[in-house]
């Protein structure tokens, strides 16, 4: 396993690898990351992983400094997983002195939901991923479904800028009680950890209601909202029932959209997503209906 730091080293190490599935991460890896590594290995000659806690995607007052880090453990885990290349850049490798170029995403897909709660977040994500893709030139970019809006935004960036990479989405990995795996789960106290699976339970209720025929999006939102609000340790930020591509809030969940537009195939009729704070931890989860 090559572990590299500078852009030049990364580019050189990548050059010898054939087709590459690439998993960008902020480190402090869990089984969800490893499932993405496995996805990246399918159909590619090699797997590359980046570990970079990207300062530009954290807002003022967010947890950039506190974000958990454990590089030695991460490298051991990736080595066991058979990863070929790990890029661990310093901030100055990604943003050298004088760097002035930003990739920004206009319009609702980057300004609603996480974009509304975290202004500038997706510009930071779009910029760092464009740089990582520029340097590594991977064949596939593997993203986790848990960060659904990130997937939507980066799908737009890849398409808009004509980047020659296939975007691959890996499923959300969960603890046995349903909590979506996240590096930020480490912030949870014991009672918060016990309360957090309410997010998954609320989304499972949305799936059940959808299966039973519920299509009114406002009603769907209030079903999910009430379930989360019943948990006293959860401080709900938003519940969204939106178009998976535009992230526009829906009035009605239309199962036929994806049948009409072949580009939409498999992306479902609605993305139900939510964010809630449990003490220090801000947690996300989502489910796609009608996929």
Minimum Å distance from CB 133 to a second copy?
Answer: 8
Minimum Å distance from CB 277 to a second copy?
Answer: 28
Nearer Cβ to a second copy, position 80 or 104? 104
**33 in active site:** yes
- By CB under 8 A, tell whether 265 contacts a second copy: no
Tokens matching residue 128 = 């760092």
Among the listed residues 2, 33, 44, 121, the single catalytic one is: 33
Using CB under 8 A, which of the segments 18-26, 46-54, 106-114, 187-195 binds a second copy? 106-114
Task: State which H helix or E strand residue 143 sits in.
Answer: strand 140-144
Using CB under 8 A, which of the segments 68-76, 158-166, 223-231, 267-275 binds a second copy? 158-166
d(CA 58, CA 277): 16
3-state SS, residue 166? strand
Nearer Cβ to a second copy, position 117 or 246? 246
- By CB under 8 A, tell whether 90 contacts a second copy: no
Using CB under 8 A, which of the segments 44-52, 90-98, 210-218, 278-286 binds a second copy? 90-98
Nearer Cβ to a second copy, position 219 or 248? 248
- By CB under 8 A, tell whether 99 contacts a second copy: yes
Least Cα distance to 67 among 7, 30, 26, 35 occurs for 26
d(CA 174, CA 185): 11
Q: Is 31 annotated as a binding residue?
A: yes
- By CB under 8 A, tell whether 246 contacts a second copy: yes
Query: Contact 281/274 with Cβ under 8 angstroms?
Result: no
Based on C-alpha coordinates, what's the Rg of the chain? Answer: 19
Query: Contact 242/202 with Cβ under 8 angstroms?
Result: no
Which of 1, 88, 163, 167 is close enough to bind a second copy by CB under 8 A? 163
Least Cα distance to 74 among 197, 185, 183 occurs for 183
3-state SS, residue 235? strand
State the angle between helix axes of 217-229 and 198-211 in degrees (0 to 180), rounded to the nearest 10. 150
Task: State which H helix or E strand residue 21 sits in.
Answer: strand 20-25
β-sheet bridge partners, residue 236:
276
- By CB under 8 A, tell whether 106 contacts a second copy: yes
Which of 36, 105, 275, 283 is close enough to bind a second copy by CB under 8 A? 105
Using CB under 8 A, which of the segments 67-75, 102-110, 139-147, 282-290 binds a second copy? 102-110
Q: Is 147 annotated as a binding residue?
A: yes
Which of 45, 70, 90, 164 is close enough to bind a second copy by CB under 8 A? 164
Tokens matching residue 263 = 């580009």
- By CB under 8 A, tell whether 156 contacts a second copy: yes
Tokens matching residue 116 = 């509304």
β-sheet bridge partners, residue 274:
239, 285
d(CA 70, CA 78): 12
- By CB under 8 A, tell whether 92 contacts a second copy: no
Nearer Cβ to a second copy, position 158 or 198? 158
Tokens matching residue 136 = 């590594």
Give Cα 223 to chain centroid, integer Å. Answer: 25
Binding site, by residue number, is 26-33, 57, 144-147, 150, 181-184
Residues that bind a second copy (CB under 8 A): 7, 11, 95-96, 98-107, 109-110, 126, 130-132, 134-135, 137, 156-157, 159-164, 246
Binding site for beta-alanine, by residue number, is 57
**Which residues are marked as active site?**
33
């Amino acid at each position: 396993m090559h572990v590299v730091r500078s852009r030049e080293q990364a580019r050189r190490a990548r050059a010898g690898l054939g087709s590459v599935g690439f998993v960008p991460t902020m480190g402090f890896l869990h089984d969800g990351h490893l499932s993405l590594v496995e996805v990246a290995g399918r159909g590619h000659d090699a797997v590359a992983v980046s570990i970079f806690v990207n300062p530009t995607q954290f807002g003022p007052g967010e947890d950039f400094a506190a974000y958990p880090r454990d590089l030695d453990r991460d490298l051991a885990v990736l080595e066991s997983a058979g990863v070929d290349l790990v890029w661990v850049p310093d901030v100055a490798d990604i943003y050298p002195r004088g760097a002035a170029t930003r990739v920004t995403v206009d319009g609702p897909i980057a300004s609603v939901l996480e974009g509304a709660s975290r202004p500038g977040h997706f510009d930071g994500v779009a910029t760092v991923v464009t740089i990582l893709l520029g340097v590594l030139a991977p064949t596939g970019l593997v993203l986790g479904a848990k960060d659904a809006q990130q997937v939507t935004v980066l799908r737009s960036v890849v398409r808009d800028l004509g980047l020659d990479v296939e975007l691959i989405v890996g499923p959300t990995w969960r603890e046995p009680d349903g909590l979506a795996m996240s590096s930020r789960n480490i912030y949870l106290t014991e009672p918060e950890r016990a309360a957090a699976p309410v997010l998954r339970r609320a989304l499972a209720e949305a799936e059940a209601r959808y299966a039973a025929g519920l299509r009114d999006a406002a009603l769907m939102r209030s079903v999910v909202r009430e379930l989360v609000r019943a948990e006293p340790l959860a401080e709900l930020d938003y519940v969204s029932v939106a178009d998976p591509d535009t992230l526009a809030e829906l009035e009605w969940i239309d199962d036929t959209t994806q049948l009409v537009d072949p580009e939409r195939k498999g992306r479902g009729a609605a993305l139900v997503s939510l964010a809630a704070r449990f003490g220090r931890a801000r947690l996300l989860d989502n489910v796609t209906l009608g996929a």
